[in-house]
Structure 1
Amino acid sequence: MLQSMTGFGSARLDADQYSISVEIRSLNSKSMDLSVRLPKFLSDREYDIRNMVQRALVRGKVGVNIEFSKNKAQKAKNTINKELLQAYYNELDAVADTLGAGKEELFRLALHMPEVLQQEQEEEVTDADWDKVQPLLEEAIQNLNTFRSDEGKALTAEIMGYIDRIRILLAETDKHDPVRMENIRGRIRGHIKEISVSEHFDKNRFEQEMVYYIEKLDIAEEKVRLVNHLHYFTETVYLPEPTGKKLGFISQEIGREINTIGSKANDATIQHHVVEMKEELEKIKEQINNIL
C-alpha cells in the first residue's frame, strides 16, 4: 500500500521534574533531507537520532524537534542563609551605632550581602535520560508513519481511479481501432485507383510501400504493452515496500506507449482518447511526487 511523504508525528513525557516533547514533520523530497533541533544534553546523541529517523522514514524533507523543559515547581529557587543574614545585620547595626547613621535600610542591605541569598542547584540532566527520549522518538516516528499510511490510502484510491480511467479510454481505443483501419484501407483503395492508371505505376514497389505504411499505422503492440504497464503499475501500488520511484519509472513507460499510439493512430477519435489518457497520466505523476 502506498505511503505519503507528508506527515506529522509527536510524543510527550510529563514527569514530576521536567517535560520532554518530540515532534517530527515530513514533506515530499527526492531524497532524505533531515534537519534536527535538540536540547544541549542530547547533542552527543544526534548521530543516533539521525540514524533512527533515516532508517524509519526512508525519504522526505524531515524536521525533528526535541524540547526539554523544567516544570515550574522544579525551577531554581532562592534560599536565605539565616545565620549569615543575622551576622551581617548585627555588624551593620553596630557600625550604624558607631557612626550615628539611620537603621531603616539595614535589613535590605544585609539581605543583599554576599552569599545570604543562595540559589538551589538544578538537577542535572544526564545521559541516562536518553533512555526516556528514545522511546518518545520511536513513538513519534510510529505516529508519523501512521499519518503517512492514512494519507497513502487516500492517494491509492485517487491514483487507481486515474489508472482505471486510462483502462477505459484504452478499451474505447481498441473498440474503435477496426473502424480506423477500415477507414485507412478505404483511403488506400482510393489512392490505388488514382495512381494505377499511371504509366509509371510499379505494382511491386507499391505493395512494398503499402505493407510498410500499414505496419507503421498498426498500434496493436502498443496497446498490449500499455495493458501490461497498467497491470504492473497496479501490482506495484500494493507492494509493502516504498514504491514511489518505481511507480515514477512505470509512469514514464505508460506515457511512452500513449504517445506512440497517438503518433501512429492517424484518427481523430483515437487522438481524442489519447489526449484524455495523457491528462489522467499527468494527474498520476503529480501525486507520485508525494509518494514514498
Structure 2
Amino acid sequence: MIQSMTGFGKATMQLSHKKITVEIKSLNSKGLDLNVRVPTVYREMELAIRTQLSTALERGKIDFSLYVEAINDETTSKLNQSIINSYISQLKAIVTDADETELLKMAVRFPDALKIER
C-alpha cells in the first residue's frame, strides 16, 4: 500500500504499432477522489482502471491519464459525413446568421466528426 499522498509518476511503453503513456498525479486529501482520463477508444476500460486504483490507494486526489499514440502510418482519419451533416443541421436551427463555412468549422470540432481507421 502506498503511504504518501503527494506525488507524480509517468511511464511510457513503446510497442511496434503504438506508444502508451500513463501519468498519475496525487495530492493530499481526506477521501479518495479519482479522476480518470482515457482515450474514447478505451473508454470501456475506465471502470477496471478505477477499480484497480481504488484498491491500491486509500485516499488523496488522484489524476490518472492514459495516452495512446499510433506510430505507424497505418491509421487514417476520415470525415464522418453523416455525423457532420447532422451537426450542421442542428447548428442551423440555433445559429441563424452563420454561413456554411462557419457552420462546417464548428461541426468538425464536435465529437466523432473524424473517424480513425486502423
TM-score in terms of structure 2 length: 0.59
Equivalence map 1:263-282=2 (5 Å): none
Please name the residue that 2:3 is paired with.
Answer: 3
> What residue identity is the alignment partner of 1:43?
R
Please name the residue that 1:59 is paired with.
Answer: 59
Please name the residue that 1:39 is paired with.
Answer: 39
* Structure 1: stretches of 5+ with no match in the other structure: 78-120, 124-292
How far is 1:65 from its partner? 0.4
Identity of aligned residues (%): 39
Please name the residue that 2:17 is paired with.
Answer: 17
2:78 is aligned with 1:122: no
Please name the residue that 2:80 is paired with.
Answer: none
Quote the Cα distance in structure 2 between the aligned partners of 1:57 and 1:7: 13
| 4+ long deviations beyond 3 Å | 72-75
* Structure 2: stretches of 5+ with no match in the other structure: 78-115
Q: RMSD over aligned Cα, in angstroms?
A: 2.2
Equivalence map 1:93-112=2 (5 Å): none
**Residues 152-180 of structure 1: per-residue CA shift (max 9 Å, x gap):** xxxxxxxxxxxxxxxxxxxxxxxxxxxxx
TM-score in terms of structure 1 length: 0.25
- CA distance 1:28–1:55, shift in 2 (3 Å): same
**Residues 232-281 of structure 1: per-residue CA shift (max 9 Å, x gap):** xxxxxxxxxxxxxxxxxxxxxxxxxxxxxxxxxxxxxxxxxxxxxxxxxx
The count of aligned residue pairs is 79
> What residue identity is the alignment partner of 2:55?
R
Quote the Cα distance in structure 2 between the aligned partners of 1:122 and 1:41: 12
Please name the residue that 1:28 is paired with.
Answer: 28
Structure with greater helix percent: 1
**Residues 35-60 of structure 1: per-residue CA shift (max 9 Å, x gap):** 01111122111111101001111110
Quote the Cα distance in structure 1 between the aligned partners of 2:24 and 2:73: 28
Quote the Cα distance in structure 2 between the aligned partners of 1:49 and 1:58: 15
> What residue identity is the alignment partner of 2:63?
G
